[in-house]
């Protein structure tokens, strides 16, 4: 008598995730049956933890509020999902990181095959190949770096290049949305064949309220406070910020520097003996208080796909001085601050910072809501669904 073959443990676990995901609705069935549009969002970690994950979380929330049936395929759910959103956890995949991308992609492919639906949009934010639309959140792999022979032969580099190209030129890909103008240009320079699929950027929304008392108090002639925030402090330009602050203290001896998002121990060598007037806050949850406490945000990043803190500072009516290499730089008009090439010398940056501290009055609050973001994506979804049904 033939014996029944037992499935491998990993496959049994995946089937269990799929079985639960197919029935575990986070809200009533009527909410999904009555929705006029069905969209799948693909992201490894689902939750408001910053960056791409924050983008997906807020976008999904606004889509669900606009009669959209939203399903999120993820490795792990970080926080409870808002009402009207179904979350399917496909299980965490082991590192190394570059291989986990491929494994997560395979898990998403399997789920989509097992739950077919021709009347939905699959919107990915990861290195996938089964999506109709992908949003690109990071600078292209290897951008700005000189490739060595070792890199060209590295399995890791080859797989990252393969995953990136597959994401952009996959068989089902109908639209590519970068999160900034700069990012769109960088993608097109590296992958010119994707031009017919490239859409205009859809900038992130800003969760800070544009309304309220954000007015910057008058800055004392010899003082003021410069702010910097960013966990990847070296790439975001903290060493340059410290140089600018040191130069400015020659004419503003009471000038302070507040650094957020960076542990004190990581930058102690940068500060040396010149740490009088520097406050290192580490990780902060209350960004509103941080922006209210500064008079100028400095962000001379070498590369930045967008730069959320730039838009947040503008919303808080604080002037911004950032590098032109930041994706959000296209939003920084003279009403909100100034931009400079990251490669410009400390003198140029110091002079620009001094001008913004001495004479700046924002014309108005910057405002960019997640409702606007959801509306822009829904327009693309409707177009793609219309083309599919023709």
pLDDT digits (tens, 9 = 90+) for 187-203: 999 999 999 999 999 99
**3-state SS, residue 212:** coil
Residue 298 CA: distances (Å) to CA of 149, 236, 279, 295 = 37, 10, 15, 10
Q: How many domains does the chain have?
A: 2
Statement to judge: residues 180 and 50 lie in one domain: yes
Statement to judge: residues 30 and 155 lie in one domain: yes
Contact 187, 167 (CB under 8 A): no
Statement to judge: residues 138 and 235 lie in one domain: no
CB neighbour list of residue 307: distance below 8 Å, 6 or more residues apart = 299, 301, 322, 326, 327, 328, 329
Statement to judge: residues 49 and 82 lie in one domain: yes
Mean pLDDT, the chain, whole residue set: 87
CB neighbour list of residue 143: distance below 8 Å, 6 or more residues apart = 186, 190, 303
Statement to judge: residues 377 and 324 lie in one domain: no
Inside any domain, residue 104: yes
**3-state SS, residue 220:** coil
Which of the residue ranges 22-36, 293-307, 355-369 would you say has the lowest mean pLDDT? 22-36
> What DSSP line would sit under 263-315, residue for residue?
-GGGSHHHHTT--TTEEEEES-S-HHHHHHT-SEEEE--S-BS--HHHHHHHH
Inside any domain, residue 210: no
Statement to judge: residues 20 and 155 lie in one domain: yes
Statement to judge: residues 63 and 197 lie in one domain: yes
The verdict on whether omega for the bond into residue 231 sits within 30 degrees of 0, i.e. cis, is no
Inside any domain, residue 25: yes
Q: Is the pLDDT of residue 145 over 70?
A: no
Q: Which residue range is the domain that position 41 belongs to?
A: 9-205+371-389
Statement to judge: residues 63 and 193 lie in one domain: yes
Inside any domain, residue 366: no
**Among 208, 194, 204, CA closest to 376:** 204
The Cα 317–Cα 80 span in angstroms is 32
Contact 170, 162 (CB under 8 A): no
The band of 212, judged by pLDDT with boundaries at 50, 70 and 90, is low
pLDDT of residue 71: 98
CA 254 to mean position of chain CA atoms: 35
Inside any domain, residue 303: yes
Instruction: Give the CATH number of the domain where residue 246 resides.
Output: 3.40.50.2000
Statement to judge: residues 260 and 119 lie in one domain: no
**Among 383, 382, 368, CA closest to 36:** 382
pLDDT digits (tens, 9 = 90+) for 279-308: 999 989 889 899 999 999 999 999 999 999
Which of the residue ranges 195-209, 260-274, 352-366 would you say has the lowest mean pLDDT? 260-274
Statement to judge: residues 44 and 185 lie in one domain: yes
* CB-count burial class (<10 Å; 0-12, 13-18, 19+) for 169: middle
Return the percentage of the chain with pLDDT > 90, whole number: 66
Strands (E), 22-61: 37-42, 45-46
pLDDT digits (tens, 9 = 90+) for 94-138: 777 778 888 999 999 999 999 999 999 999 999 999 999 999 999
Inside any domain, residue 215: no
Contact 311, 366 (CB under 8 A): yes
pLDDT of residue 31: 39
Inside any domain, residue 34: yes
Statement to judge: residues 377 and 352 lie in one domain: no
Mean pLDDT of 90-97: 82
pLDDT of residue 273: 57
Residue 46 CA: distances (Å) to CA of 52, 303, 326 = 10, 25, 25
Q: Is the pLDDT of residue 326 over 50?
A: yes
* CB-count burial class (<10 Å; 0-12, 13-18, 19+) for 3: exposed
The band of 33, judged by pLDDT with boundaries at 50, 70 and 90, is very low
Calculate helix-pair angle for 155-169, 97-114, nearest 10 degrees: 30
Which of the residue ranges 52-66, 170-184, 271-285 would you say has the lowest mean pLDDT? 271-285
Inside any domain, residue 300: yes
């Amino acid at each position: 008598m033939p014996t029944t073959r037992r499935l491998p443990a990993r496959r049994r676990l995946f089937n269990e995730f799929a079985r639960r995901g197919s029935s575990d609705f986070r809200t009533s069935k009527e909410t999904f049956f009555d929705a006029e549009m069905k969209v799948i969002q693909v992201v490894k970690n689902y939750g408001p933890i910053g960056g791409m994950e924050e983008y997906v979380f807020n976008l999904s929330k606004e889509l669900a509020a606009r009669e959209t049936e939203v399903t999120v395929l993820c490795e792990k759910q970080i926080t409870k999902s808002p009402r009207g959103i179904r979350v399917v956890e496909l299980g965490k995949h082991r590192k190394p990181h570059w291989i986990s991308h491929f494994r997560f992609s395979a898990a998403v492919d399997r789920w989509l095959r097992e739950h077919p639906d021709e009347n939905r949009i699959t919107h990915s934010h990861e290195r996938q190949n089964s999506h109709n639309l992908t949003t690109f959140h990071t600078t292209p792999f290897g951008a700005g770096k000189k490739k060595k022979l070792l890199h060209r032969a590295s399995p890791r580099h080859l797989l990252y290049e393969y995953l990136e190209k597959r994401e952009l030129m996959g068989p089902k890909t109908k639209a590519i949305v970068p999160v900034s103008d700069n990012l769109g240009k960088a993608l097109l320079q590296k992958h010119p064949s994707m031009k017919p699929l490239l859409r205009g950027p859809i900038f992130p929304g800003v969760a800070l309220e544009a309304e309220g008392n954000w007015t910057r108090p008058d800055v004392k002639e010899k003082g003021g406070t410069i702010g910097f925030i960013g966990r990847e402090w070296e790439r975001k330009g903290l060493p340059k910020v410290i140089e600018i602050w040191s130069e400015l203290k020659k004419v503003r001896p009471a000038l302070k520097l507040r650094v957020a998002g960076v542990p004190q121990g990581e930058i102690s060598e940068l500060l040396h003996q010149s740490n009088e007037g520097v406050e290192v806050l580490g990780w902060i949850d209350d960004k509103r208080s941080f922006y209210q406490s500064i008079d100028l945000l400095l962000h001379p990043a070498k590369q930045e796909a967008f730069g959320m803190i730039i838009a947040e500072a503008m919303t808080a009516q604080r002037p911004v001085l950032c590098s032109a290499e930041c994706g959000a730089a296209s939003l920084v008009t003279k009403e909100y601050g100034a931009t400079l090439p990251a490669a410009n010398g400390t003198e140029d940056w110091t002079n620009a910072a001094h001008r913004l501290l001495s004479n700046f009055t924002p014309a108005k609050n910057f405002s960019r809501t997640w409702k606007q973001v959801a509306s822009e994506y829904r327009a693309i979804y409707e177009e793609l669904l219309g083309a599919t049904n023709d």
